[in-house]
Amino acid sequence: MSFDLWFLLALLGFTFALFVSARFRLDLVAMAALLALYLIGLVSVDEALAGFSHPLVIMIAGLFVVGGA
């Protein structure tokens, strides 16, 4: 198996462990995992940021704003 696959599996396991432990905020863990994937070269900037412009993500963010008011 290639280094990329081993790195991805290790990162997935580490991220899952941090999610389950709830030691850190989930959003910070997810962003750190995304940053690690970018820094190692497994995803490009466009691929890393593509999901944030999806209309559903923007709608849910808006619901959080309205719900907090």
pLDDT score of 39? 94
Q: Is-contact 33 11, C-beta < 8 A? A: yes
Structural contact between residues 4 and 42, judged by C-beta atoms closer than 8 angstroms? yes
Residue 53 pLDDT grade (very low, low, confident, very high; cuts 50, 70, 90): confident
Let me know the angle formed at the C-alpha of 25 by 22 and 30, rounded to the nearest 5 degrees: 100
Picking from 1, 13, 7, the residue whose alpha carbon sits closest to that of residue 41 is: 7
**Top-confidence residue, 64 or 1:** 64
Residue 69's pLDDT is what?
Answer: 64
pTM: 0.74
Is residue 13 scored above 70 in pLDDT? yes
Q: Tokens standing for 62?
A: 């808006």
Domain that holds residue 63: 3-68
Total count of domains within the chain? 1
